[in-house]
């Protein structure tokens, strides 16, 4: 029997129309023929891998980027036949699965290249690799000096079943600033490394450098493929990215990005607390007046950060209800004294919009000293996720 929101204490709703709008917006930002690849790693940035892939398929993305082999295998198990790039390390013992499933594989170290060569020869099957070039982020990648590539390229020439399909890089500082000079230094390093690779005989490469911020701001980073991550979900990579976008005075008739995710719960209990009583663990909040509390069945076990204690608010009937006391493992308490008529079972928004009020991921991030990426990505995988239209009709 299919469950509904009546069966859940807390759940996440994904707005299909918002997701469709965001994809359409980014599709028109790129040239015809440029591959639009959506990044769905980390449970689709906390939004839910399966429902997001369902929407991505429906609205015609070209390919997928994931972090792990297990994520890629999940997509295949759900019938996804489009190309999938695995961007993270794969244990050598599991390279056979990469080859058999015809996944694209990010390549960034010689040991993996040697193991991959051995596996392709043993299976007599080809594999497509995307060479990850180090241009200044100093995470995964080869470089930044061209001569560091030579041993790699030599081994690739000797590996007939390893097909070098693409080369790519990732920007270190394109989101956190409105001064993008370092990003362009990286872009120039990337171009030099690509020229070196092409002169070594590897031509017709697919190139990709653009994350969401680069896709929004710099068409010269689009090349033959873009990797659309956070912003497919309607979130800006940073305030600086939004400011830079506004400075460019990009004209668009529609709202640029529409958040896809709303996190909801219900009132479990209501109680009247006298003045001068303390609430919750550690007695961190004392009432200054008779206070009506609503107890909500959600806590840090669900991804509602404990640092939000006594800081944030939730939305009930389109009004703000502030947190009182510490966030518990499974419960929080909010003050509904000034919101008359609240009933047990009433719907509450923890993250997202209700009527004219909203709680953006950026607001929660600012309260706990982090970024919107972390706020949504840390939402527990055990939370039910459902797709809704903008009118909340389930699909």
Q: Which of 87, 77, 88, 9 is nearest to 49 (CA)?
A: 77
Q: Which of 268, 288, 267, 266 is nearest to 277 (CA)?
A: 288
How far from chain centre, in Å, is Cα 325? Answer: 30
Whether the CB-CB separation of 193 and 133 falls below 8 Å is answered with: yes
Which one of 145, 199, 248, 281 is the catalytic residue? 281
User: H/E element holding 232?
Assistant: none
Instruction: For residue 367, give the 3-state DSSP assignment.
Output: helix
Which one of 29, 41, 132, 264 is the catalytic residue? 41
Told to judge if 19 belongs to the known catalytic residues of this protein, a careful annotator would answer no
Nearest-angstrom CA–CA distance, 337 and 328: 21
CA distances to 121, 313, 355 from 359, rounded to whole Å, are 54, 8, 11
Longest dimension (CA), the chain: 79
Task: Take residue 126 and report the two structure tokens written for it.
Answer: 């080809």
Handedness of CA 218, 171, 129, 67 (dihedral sign): negative
Handedness of CA 384, 388, 391, 394 (dihedral sign): negative
CB atoms within 10 A of CB 56: 25
Nearest-angstrom CA–CA distance, 37 and 229: 9
Nearest-angstrom CA–CA distance, 183 and 175: 10
Handedness of CA 17, 18, 20, 24 (dihedral sign): positive
Would you list the DSSP string of 289-334? S-EEEEEES--GGGT--GGGTTT-EEEETTEEEEB-S---SS-EEE
Told to judge if 45 belongs to the known catalytic residues of this protein, a careful annotator would answer no
Nearest-angstrom CA–CA distance, 238 and 195: 32
- Whole-angstrom distance between the N-terminal and C-terminal Cα of the chain? 16
CB atoms within 10 A of CB 96: 14
Q: Which residues are catalytic?
A: 41, 281
């Amino acid at each position: 029997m299919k469950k509904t929101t009546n069966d859940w204490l807390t759940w996440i709703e994904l707005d299909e129309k918002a997701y469709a709008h965001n994809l359409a917006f980014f599709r028109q930002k790129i040239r015809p023929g440029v591959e639009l690849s959506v990044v769905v790693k980390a449970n689709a940035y906390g939004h839910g891998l399966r429902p997001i892939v369902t929407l991505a398929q429906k609205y015609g993305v070209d390919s997928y980027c994931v972090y792990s082999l297990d994520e890629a295998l999940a997509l295949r198990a759900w019938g996804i036949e489009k190309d999938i790039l695995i961007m993270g390390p794969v244990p050598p013992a599991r390279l056979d699965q990469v080859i058999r499933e015809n996944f694209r594989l990010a390549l960034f170290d010689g040991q993996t290249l040697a193991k991959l060569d051995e596996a392709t020869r043993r299976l007599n099957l080809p594999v497509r690799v995307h060479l990850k070039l180090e241009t200044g982020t100093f995470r995964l990648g080869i470089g930044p000096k061209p001569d560091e590539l030579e041993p790699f390229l030599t081994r690739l020439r000797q590996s007939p079943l390893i097909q070098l399909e693409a080369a790519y890089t990732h920007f270190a500082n394109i989101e956190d600033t409105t001064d993008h000079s370092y990003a362009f230094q990286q872009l120039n390093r990337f171009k030099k490394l690509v020229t070196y690779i092409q002169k070594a005989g590897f031509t017709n490469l697919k190139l990709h450098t653009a994350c969401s911020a680069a896709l929004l701001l710099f068409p010269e980073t689009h090349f033959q493929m873009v990797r659309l991550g956070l912003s497919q979900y309607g979130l800006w990579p940073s305030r600086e990215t939004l400011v830079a976008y506004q400075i460019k005075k990009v004209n668009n008739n529609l709202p640029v990005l529409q958040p896809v995710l709303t996190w909801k719960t219900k009132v479990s209990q209501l109680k009247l607390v006298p003045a001068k009583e303390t609430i919750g663990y550690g007695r961190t909040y004392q009432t200054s007046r008779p206070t009506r509390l609503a107890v909500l069945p959600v806590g840090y076990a669900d991804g509602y950060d404990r640092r939000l204690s006594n800081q944030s608010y939730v939305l009930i009937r389109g009004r703000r209800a502030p947190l009182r006391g510490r966030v518990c493992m499974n419960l929080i308490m909010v003050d509904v004294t000034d919101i008359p008529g609240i009933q047990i079972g009433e719907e509450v928004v923890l993250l997202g919009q209700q009527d004219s009020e909203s709680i953006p991921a950026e607001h929660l991030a600012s309260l706990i000293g982090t970024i919107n990426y972390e706020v949504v990505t840390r939402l527990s995988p055990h939370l039910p996720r459902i797709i809704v239209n903008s009118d909340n009709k389930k699909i």
